[in-house]
Chain A
Amino acid sequence: MKVDKTKCMYCGSCVGTCPKNAIFLEETNIVFNRELCIECGVCEKVCPVGAITAE
């Protein structure tokens, strides 16, 4: 998961939707836990502004 910080609104859409709870939002910092990620790609789709590229 790659976050384009120039687009990210820190809205938490990806955090609440991630089925593995691999994403955490500190106030304006997205923390991603690669070990939990199952590469389902849902974070890329749910982001309202298209700031995420799933890998």
Chain B
Amino acid sequence: MRYDVVVVGAGPAGSRTAKIAADNGCRVLMIEKRQEIGVPVRCGEGVSKKGLKELGIEPESSWIAADIKGARIYAPNGKHVLLSEEQAGGEVGYNIYRDIFDKSLAKQAGKSGADIMLKSSVFEVIKENNKIKGVKVKSMGENLEIKADVVVGADGFESQIGRWSGIDTSLKQNDVVPSLQYTMTNIDYTEYNDFYIGSVAPGGYAWVFPKNNEANVGLGVQLSKIKERGDVKKHLDRFVEKKFPNGKIVRIVAGCVSVCAPIEKTVGNGVLLVGDAARQIDPLTGGGIINALICGTIAGEVIGNAVKKQEFNETLMEYERRWRAELEDKLYRNWIAKEKGTTLSDEVFNKIIEALSGYDFKKISTTEILRGIQSKYPELMKEFEGLI
């Protein structure tokens, strides 16, 4: 089998890349190892309205589970600061059904002409003269070789395509946040996405994202702060027992989030990485859906050009330049802020939230947070040296 482009993984990054590349005239095959796109869900399912709008993705009632008014950030002492959607910089918006959302994106890729292959696991890349020339797939028990001019690794956190192609996507323990989430019913629903910081979730945070008649209650811990096997589950069980003693669990979601600085390289000879595979998650919020879609759009356009020109070296490098121009500064800044945040004590978090709840700001950002702290607890500023 031969295609212009093979996309490995049918998450948001893969489906978007496949759709845009197909729209730009490429013959595309998207390969997914699961038997059903989007299932099982591995996500908190919060997504920014502004982000979707800027991508031209029309909200569909089938995947909107809740329309969110804002975010509340809770300090260890229980006090909180409330951010409107605007103040939260559009980071909150809809809570969605990711399985339906992912399928909708895959259908759009299919509509644009991309072929889709399920229950098919890519287990090797084909290399010839140091160029990636395709992939080997185990598809419903059958081994296939698929040749392509471009291979896209959209294979998520567990990504292998990069490593097999000589792109370093390895992560330090500070930059990995294993997470667990219970979708729960029988709890009090609100119109806010809640975040709990401090020792409830060392180096990460706990979240409560309400949906229609249920809520995603989850928690992530920085890998370097994990002491014993199963710590993440222990932390989540403790949190749930305290917050929602009458809640009932209807779904369990496990997964891992990368919270690293932008990696050195996301393009190789005949291959490029998109989404979690390229470690494009926001290291402060852990949100990755919108970034995966932004980078998938850029990847699809660049691949379209490369296929038109039949030039797969310099032309693909354009992807590296364009996604970095759009996201790199923010990812880097938020990584620095995350590195700082993971060193703070509960007492300091209490003071930060206290300072912020009395401070009138337009949009949350590291600078604004620091201003808020400066105005109330100037002596705390020494904790933030290097951030200013």
Binding site for B on A (CB under 8 A): 9-13, 15-17, 19, 21, 24-27, 42, 44-50, 52-53
Contacts and interface: CB of A to CB of B under 8 A. Distances in A.
B289 interface: no
B158 interface: yes
A45 B226 contact: yes
Nearest to B225: A45
B158 A15 contact: yes
A47 B176 CA distance: 11
Given A11-B254, A50-B231, 15 more contacts: A12-B158, A12-B256, A13-B256, A16-B158, A16-B159, A17-B178, A17-B223, A24-B160, A27-B33, A27-B35, A46-B223, A47-B229, A48-B178, A48-B180, A53-B229
B358 interface: no
Given A24-B123, A49-B180, A42 B223 contact: yes
Contacts of A24: 123, 160
Contact of A48 (B121, B163, B173, B179): B179
Contacts of B228: 45
A17 B171 contact: yes
Task: Please tell me the size bucket of the interface on B.
Answer: 35 or more
Interface in B93-150: 119, 121, 123, 138
A12 B179 contact: no
A11 B229 contact: no
B254 A50 contact: no
A46 B256 contact: yes
Nearest to A29: B121
B229 A48 contact: no
A16 B171 contact: yes
Contacts of A52: 229
Interface string B264-306: 0000000000000000000000000000000000000000000
Given A21-B163, A27-B119, A16 B226 contact: no
A9 B230 CA distance: 13
Contacts of B256: 11-13, 16-17, 46, 48
Contacts of A27: 33-35, 119, 121
B349 interface: no
Given A11-B254, A17-B256, A25-B158, A46 B178 contact: yes
B324 interface: no
Which of A11, A25, A48, A49 neighbours the largest number of chain B CB atoms within 10 Å of its CB? A48
Contact of B176 (A11, A12, A17): A17
Given A15-B158, A17-B256, A48 B233 contact: yes
A50 B234 CA distance: 10
Nearest to B227: A45
A12 B223 contact: no
Q: Which of A13, A19, A24, A44 has the most CB of B within 10 A?
A: A13
B252 interface: yes
A16 B253 CA distance: 17
B32 to A, nearest CB: 10
Contacts of B229: 44-45, 47, 50, 52-53
Contacts of B159: 16
The 4 A-B pairs at the shortest CB distance, nearest first, are namely A50-B230, A12-B158, A13-B256, A11-B254
